[in-house]
């Protein structure tokens, strides 16, 4: 049988297109350096209608100069773009749609712009492909969402366009790789051009164009929690989590969310945890950003290693001075990487613990509430039991599941929340707002953050529910109700049933865990203010101005 080669196909159309694009911007460049003053003209020359463009909007850092330039494009020339943005944080990210420059959007998280996002969707200004988790969106950049042009940011570039990102490497290498190795165009705004970068975070031959930005890229201290705002209820929940989850399951590898609840856990390790003799037994290896509230635990010898998704403003000198704990480059500063840390958070940690805005009786949870389309970020990725895991650990094995011979352990996925949020809003609800929001937005499935069947533990000020022990959905619902306090969900379970659940080990109240509620107070916090964190760091932590009260 002869192979049919009737048509001679051109196998390098993307390469040719890239060459054309770069040729078109040549008038605005000197070598690979793009004139910042001509950025508008350059984008008009570079972009084609319908292009798929990845705009670096990370969880923390933003390619804001390029975002502004993109939003300023003439929709008569540049239109119908398909944008890929992991975190929609800036006004300009959505201006692009309002002005008709872009039409289609795939994203992960829209927290700061969630209200406007919902409005634009309502007005038909934006077509959302899907809302992803971070790694999921990046994964698709290598499969069916390969970008034509990527707009990134870095701290410095040298003459060969080698990039230095500093501590906030975050997503840049991943997005760059998706474009650089599939004939996409890589454009990077840099804070400065230098002769030599302190270290190479992204090799220059991945980079096509560098533009010195007139101002440093925007960077938010998202992971700083002021210990002053931690109250006794958070401390109580931290005590319950420590005894009822961490100690009981010997959790050594973990990820924490960014709430005050988990900050409280970090801050009672050197006090309550020390008292319980748990140092060296739990909480040794972490995947999380350099949380300032972790400093006391690090300084008192609890923490062996921390791998980070991104940096955190103010922690640069501290991290650089603790290279045994953090991943640092030859320049001494932190090297972060969101995708690798998400991967670590998915496969290599035994526990994910975080809080949501709403939890239903089946333990499904969501941060999507009425009129807000916030998206997912990274939580669902870490907040699930990955069936691809094969290595065992005591914590994983303590949740033994499956039928022989397919016995396996399970990841601990804990939700921690007060039964009521600020203003008396119940955290436990009959139906998640996400269900309605998903219906209104025409989403194929409701935007649930963490699925109830992935949740192994729920921690509230009432106690701990061990959902992994539930043998039926009805039992799971009862266990959730038992710790849901006076919320509509909590009122649905009677006292005798709760007694039975305690006997069967599905629910533990503070007294069942040996937690003395009277001790739940701020004196248990190893640091009670940002000044205390500075003191713990021996002056190495430089809190951002907004957290300073002196």
Q: Which residues bind another protein (CB under 8 A)?
A: 228, 270, 274, 279-280, 299-301, 522-523, 528-529, 531-532, 535-536, 538-539, 545-550
Nearest approach in angstroms of CB 117 to another protein is 24
Nearest approach in angstroms of CB 290 to another protein is 18
Nearest approach in angstroms of CB 546 to another protein is 6
CB nearer another protein, residue 162 or residue 537: 537
Nearest approach in angstroms of CB 540 to another protein is 10
- The whole-angstrom separation of Cα 432 and Cα 424 is 17
CB nearer another protein, residue 80 or residue 274: 274
Other Cβ atoms within 10 Å of 15 Cβ, number = 12
Nearest approach in angstroms of CB 89 to another protein is 18
Question: Phi/psi of residue 501, each to 5°?
Answer: -65, -35
CB nearer another protein, residue 270 or residue 438: 270
The DSSP H or E segment spanning 46 is helix 39-46
Nearest approach in angstroms of CB 545 to another protein is 5
CA quadruple 222, 226, 231, 232: dihedral sign = positive
Q: How far is CA 68 from CA 39, 71, 296, 357, in A?
A: 10, 5, 40, 32
CB nearer another protein, residue 380 or residue 543: 543
Nearest approach in angstroms of CB 539 to another protein is 7
CB nearer another protein, residue 183 or residue 274: 274
Nearest approach in angstroms of CB 192 to another protein is 24
What DSSP character marks residue 35?
Answer: P
Strand order in 507-508's β-sheet?
Answer: 305-307, 285-287, 253-256, 351-354, 412-416, 457-459, 464-466, 507-508
CB nearer another protein, residue 101 or residue 303: 303
Nearest approach in angstroms of CB 270 to another protein is 7
- The whole-angstrom separation of Cα 127 and Cα 43 is 22
CB nearer another protein, residue 103 or residue 522: 522
CB nearer another protein, residue 223 or residue 547: 547
Q: Which of 97, 105, 195, 207 lies closest to 152 in space, CA to CA?
A: 207
CB nearer another protein, residue 475 or residue 532: 532
What DSSP character marks residue 168?
Answer: -
474: Cβ contacts below 8 Å, ≥ 6 apart: none
CB-side exposure of 41: number of CA atoms within 13 Å?
11
Specify which residues 408 forms β-bridges with. 401
- The whole-angstrom separation of Cα 161 and Cα 209 is 8
3-state secondary structure of 469: helix
């Amino acid at each position: 049988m002869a192979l049919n080669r009737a048509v001679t196909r051109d196998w390098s159309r993307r390469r040719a297109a890239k060459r054309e694009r770069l040729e078109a911007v040549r008038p605005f460049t000197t070598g690979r350096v793009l004139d910042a003053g001509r950025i508008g003209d350059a984008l008009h020359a570079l972009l084609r209608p319908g292009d798929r463009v990845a705009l670096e909007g990370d969880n923390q850092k933003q390619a804001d100069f390029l975002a502004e330039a993109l939003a300023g494009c003439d929709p008569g020339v540049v239109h119908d773009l398909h944008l890929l943005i992991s975190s929609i944080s800036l006004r300009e990210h959505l201006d692009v749609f309002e002005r008709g420059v872009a039409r289609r959007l795939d994203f992960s998280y829209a927290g700061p712009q969630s209200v406007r996002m919902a409005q634009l969707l309502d007005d038909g200004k934006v077509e959302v492909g899907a809302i992803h988790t971070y790694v999921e969106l990046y994964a698709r950049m290598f499969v069916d969402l390969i970008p034509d042009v990527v707009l990134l940011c870095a701290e410095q570039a040298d003459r060969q366009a080698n990039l230095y990102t500093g501590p906030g490497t975050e997503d840049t290498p991943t997005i760059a790789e998706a474009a650089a190795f599939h004939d996409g165009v890589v454009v990077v705004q840099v804070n400065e051009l230098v002769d030599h970068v302190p270290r190479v975070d992204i090799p220059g031959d991945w980079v096509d164009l560098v533009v010195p930005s007139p101002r440093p890229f925007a960077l938010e201290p998202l992971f700083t929690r002021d210990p002053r705002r931690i109250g006794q209820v958070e401390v109580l929940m931290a005590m319950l989590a420590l005894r009822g989850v961490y100690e009981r399951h010997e959790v050594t590898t973990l990820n924490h969310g960014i709430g005050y609840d988990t900050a409280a856990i970090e801050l009672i390790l050197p006090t309550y945890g020390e008292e319980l003799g748990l140092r060296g037994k739990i909480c040794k290896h972490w995947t999380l950003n350099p949380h300032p509230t972790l400093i006391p635990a690090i300084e008192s010898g609890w923490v062996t290693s921390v791998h980070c998704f991104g940096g955190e403003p103010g922690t640069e000198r501290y991290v650089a001075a603790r290279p045994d704990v953090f991943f640092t480059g030859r320049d001494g500063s932190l090297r972060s990487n969101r995708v690798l840390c998400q991967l670590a958070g998915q496969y290599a940690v035994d526990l994910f613990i975080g809080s949501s805005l709403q939890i239903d009786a089946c333990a499904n949870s969501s941060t999507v509430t009425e009129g807000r389309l916030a998206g997912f970020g990274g939580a669902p990725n870490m907040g699930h039991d990955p069936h691809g895991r094969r290595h065992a650990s005591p914590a994983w094995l303590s949740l033994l599941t499956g039928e022989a011979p397919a016995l396996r352990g399970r990841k601990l996925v804990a939700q921690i929340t007060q039964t009521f949020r600020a203003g008396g809003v119940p955290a436990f609800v009959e139906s998640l707002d996400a269900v309605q929001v998903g219906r209104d937005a025409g989403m194929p499935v409701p935007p649930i953050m963490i699925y109830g069947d992935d949740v192994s533990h729920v921690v509230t000020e009432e106690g701990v529910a061990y959902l992994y022990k539930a043998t039926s959905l009805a039992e799971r619902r009862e266990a959730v109700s038992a710790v849901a306090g006076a919320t509509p969900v909590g009122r649905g379970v009677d006292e005798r049933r709760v007694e039975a659940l305690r006997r069967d080990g599905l629910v533990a109240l503070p007294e069942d865990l040996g937690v003395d509620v009277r001790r739940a107070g701020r004196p248990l916090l190893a640091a009670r203010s940002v000044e205390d964190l500075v003191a713990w760091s021996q002056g190495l932590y430089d809190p951002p101005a907004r957290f300073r009260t002196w």
